[in-house]
Amino acid sequence: MSAERDDGAVFVRPLGILGHKTAAAAVEAGIARWLAGGPLAFAMVEVIVRWPDGGIGRVSGTLAEVAGWEQVVERLDALSRPRQPFAGLALDKPAIMGIINVTPDSFSDGGDFLDHANAIAQGAALLDAGADILDVGGESTRPGADPVSPEEEIRRVVPVVRHFAGTGAKVSIDTRHAAVMAAALEAGAAIINDVTALTGDPESLGVAVRSSAPVVLMHMKGEPRTMQQAPDYLDVSTDVYAYLAERVAVCLEAGIRPENLCVDPGIGFGKTVAHNLDVLRHTALFHGLGLPVLIGLSRKGFIGALSRKEPPKDRLAGSLAGALASLGQGAQIVRVHDVAETYQARALWLALEGQSAT
């Protein structure tokens, strides 16, 4: 298969990922390249070409074997270059985003932290456990969830955001509504985390541009009430990649700086179990966008579906397995409910890669 045809869209997925001293030696020898600046490296790639007629071709090879393919080389540069800090966080080691759902109906802990005092106590516990970011949300986006008015969402989240921003904690606002983004940013939120990639509200892009706030762009097929009704893709990982690439281009054109963008392929949002597994296996593919990659799979339904149908709070082991799988493909941020356990798992992973958790 040639990747030089003009009418095919080319995607490059890193393979042969190396860690610790093996990576440095392979890069020095010229047989591998750093993955998003390190500490992992990759020595092989899978080149995926999608033809206009719907056909998909795949071929794997070493870096030397694909060195003559111009479109591949361009993508290698995006895959390899170091990532700039995101929201002031250096990305030399993976960051942990802890979840605070100030909602009555979130799939995992709905109602546990609807009371502001409980939400603040939970956030303090997550920070003590090692969270780098607190992600505060006031609307459940679980499958089948009903929408919440922006006014109610603001009532739920702003006191919590204001409290933690006042302590110096780094807070993200998990919302798809422009008014909520604006209110949370005014209260001190540092990051916008939007499951609709700034498409859910016509004013969202403008809020992001005017605020200069870092933004997490997530892929979701459809909207929460309907997203799990027979989701369908031609090829899920490259479909998601193409969507995120388009949203990144829109944001850059609007004036958002590249260092203020992060991408999330949206595991669990309009995807079947098979789709979720495919996206997770292709985590490294998304580094081709040249931006930090966030993976959020904590306690999600596909974990139970693959095991014994455990309820959300009994999916810790699967959540950790998924988080470590994504770290092994260079994900820079993991969004989790169980921060202490993720911190410990990350500490061991970092030690194996020759790094310290502190």
Annotated catalytic residues are: 300, 335
CA atoms within 13 A on the CB side of 97: 31
Give the C-alpha separation, 109 to 190, whole Å.
24
Q: Record the tokens describing residue 202, joined without a space.
A: 């016509």
Which run of H or of E encompasses 218? strand 215-218
Burial (CB count <10 Å: 0-12, 13-18, 19+), residue 229? exposed
Contacts of 96 (CB under 8 A, 6+ apart): 130, 131, 132, 133, 333, 334, 336, 339, 342, 343, 346
CA angle 12–13–17, rounded 5-degree value: 135
Contacts of 283 (CB under 8 A, 6+ apart): 265, 293, 295, 325, 326, 329, 330, 331
Q: Record the tokens describing residue 91, joined without a space.
A: 């990305």
| Phi-psi label, residue 38: left if phi above 0, alpha if psi -120 to 50, beta otherwise | left
Q: Is 144 helix (H, G, I), strand (E, B) or coil?
A: coil
Cβ pair 115, 121 in contact under 8 A? no
Q: Is 6 helix (H, G, I), strand (E, B) or coil?
A: coil
Give the C-alpha separation, 266 to 278, whole Å.
12
Q: Where are the alpha helices (DSSP H) in the chain?
A: 20-29, 70-80, 116-129, 150-166, 178-186, 204-211, 236-254, 273-281, 301-306, 316-327, 339-352
